[in-house]
Amino acid sequence: MTAEASTREAYGRTLIELGKQNKDIVVLDADLSLSTMTHLFAREFPEHFFDCGLEEQNMIGIAAGLAASGKIVFASSFAVFASCRCFDQVRLCVSQPKLNVKIVATHSGISVGEDGTSHHAIEDLSLYCALPSFTVIVPADAIETTKAVKAAAATYGPFYIRLSRPKTPLIYHEDHHFMVGKSVTLRRGKDVTIIAMGIMVAKALQAAQKLATQGIDSRVIDMHTLNPLDEKAIIKAASETGAIVVAEEHLAHGGLGSRVAQIVAKQKPVPMAFVNLEDHYASSGKGEELLRRFGLTAEGIEKAAKQVVRKQ
């Protein structure tokens, strides 16, 4: 995993490809197109792009109206604005009528870094997972981002796709087969399962390699879709490995860990550990420094895996 690529740049390039294939693709942004990379689409298809200014609430209303008129709508902003600032409009205008709006948010989590606490989207997944009609996806790399955006365009209904600011390691090859709601087992193992999403997937693979040198055989699952969740993969992992670690760049409540724990508690209780932000806001700082400060690292996952293995 030496090569890196930007998930938001992959998103921008994929929008161009979709725009060439389907005249019903429409893209909206909230004055952040240079950062979300929707400006790439705007340059190619200016008549199908609308910059709504610093008005995320209005952007969602416009997106809903266009979707109700038969368009396939992609609406983008930073994750903190696309979730917290316009939640009421998303709930009423998109989720309840189940409209064909794809909200693709960049600059998620604390890896946004120096933008500071006000811009750290660490509640967004809990908010979107609370909306019954939304499909929620967190791609692990740029290649999976392309596949997820194409799948969203081809699937009717509301989507939330969470992307990051920094470049991230490439995990997949171009022939990667992506299915909404179907996780990917990246590494097989019998002693413990590490379930991760987004930028934490690469760190989970690194942790598994380190654990292998210590005699611990780790399964690694990329749980890219939070809703609908791949319950079968979780139950199988609990049954076959007897311990689970969940790693995510999010608060402890309402994200991937909470959703996995619900399934484990109901179907196959096993020791679990959670690598996340717990119940803390971060601060301004370089992204990697913040991730290390809060233990969102391969070493943090390794430590958690050892703890749950001892509890078996």
Same domain, 234 and 147: no
Q: Cα separations (Å) of 112 from 78, 106, 108, 226? A: 10, 9, 6, 21
Alpha-helical runs (H) found in 33-178: 33-36, 39-44, 56-68, 79-80, 87-89, 124-129, 142-154
Question: Over pLDDT 90: what percentage of the chain?
Answer: 94
What is the rounded distance in angstroms from the CA atom of residue 205 to the CA atom of residue 201?
6
Same domain, 23 and 89: yes
Average pLDDT over residues 26-49: 98
Q: Which of 99, 134, 169 is the last residue of a domain?
A: 169
For 117, list phi and psi in degrees, rounded to 5: -55, -40
Q: Which of 169, 203, 237 is the last residue of a domain?
A: 169
> What's the chain's average pLDDT?
96
The answer as to whether 250 is a domain residue is yes
Domain span at residue 56 reads 4-169
The answer as to whether 177 is a domain residue is no
pLDDT digits (tens, 9 = 90+) for 236-274: 999 999 999 999 999 999 999 999 999 999 999 999 999
Q: What is the pLDDT of residue 224?
A: 98
Same domain, 154 and 218: no
Q: What is the pLDDT of residue 176?
A: 95
56 given a catalytic annotation: yes
Same domain, 261 and 299: yes
Say whether pLDDT at 198 is over 90: yes
> Which CATH number goes with the domain that contains 87?
3.40.50.970
What is the rounded distance in angstroms from the CA atom of residue 176 to the CA atom of residue 224?
13
| Active-site residue (options: 9, 17, 55, 56) | 56
In the chain, what's the furthest Cα-to-Cα distance? Answer: 59
Paired tokens of 83: 């979730």
Same domain, 165 and 189: no
The answer as to whether 178 is a domain residue is no
Same domain, 22 and 92: yes
Say whether pLDDT at 1 is over 80: no
The answer as to whether 174 is a domain residue is no
> Which CATH number goes with the domain that contains 265?
3.40.50.920
What is the rounded distance in angstroms from the CA atom of residue 156 to the CA atom of residue 158?
7
Of 278, 239, 260, residue with least CA distance to 196 = 260
The answer as to whether 99 is a domain residue is yes
CA angle at residue 101 from 97 to 105, to 5 degrees? 130
Same domain, 100 and 215: no
The answer as to whether 61 is a domain residue is yes
Same domain, 198 and 296: yes
Q: What is the pLDDT of residue 117?
A: 86
Paired residues of 4 in beta bridges: 169
The answer as to whether 149 is a domain residue is yes
Task: Quote the number of domains for the chain.
Answer: 2
Same domain, 151 and 20: yes
Same domain, 97 and 237: no
In the chain, at which residue ranges do the beta strands (DSSP E only) sit? 4-5, 25-29, 49-51, 72-78, 101-106, 135-137, 159-162, 168-169, 184-187, 192-196, 218-222, 225-227, 244-247, 272-275
The answer as to whether 176 is a domain residue is no
Q: Which of 146, 169, 192 is the last residue of a domain?
A: 169
Q: Label residue 100 by pLDDT band (50, 70, 90).
A: very high
Average pLDDT over residues 43-50: 98
Q: Cα separations (Å) of 22 from 8, 13, 18, 144, 170? A: 21, 15, 6, 21, 28
Question: Over pLDDT 70: what percentage of the chain?
Answer: 99
Q: Cα separations (Å) of 92 from 64, 71, 78, 126, 173? A: 10, 19, 20, 17, 39
Same domain, 204 and 281: yes
Same domain, 33 and 154: yes
What is the rounded distance in angstroms from the CA atom of residue 82 to the CA atom of residue 30?
9
Say whether pLDDT at 175 is over 70: yes
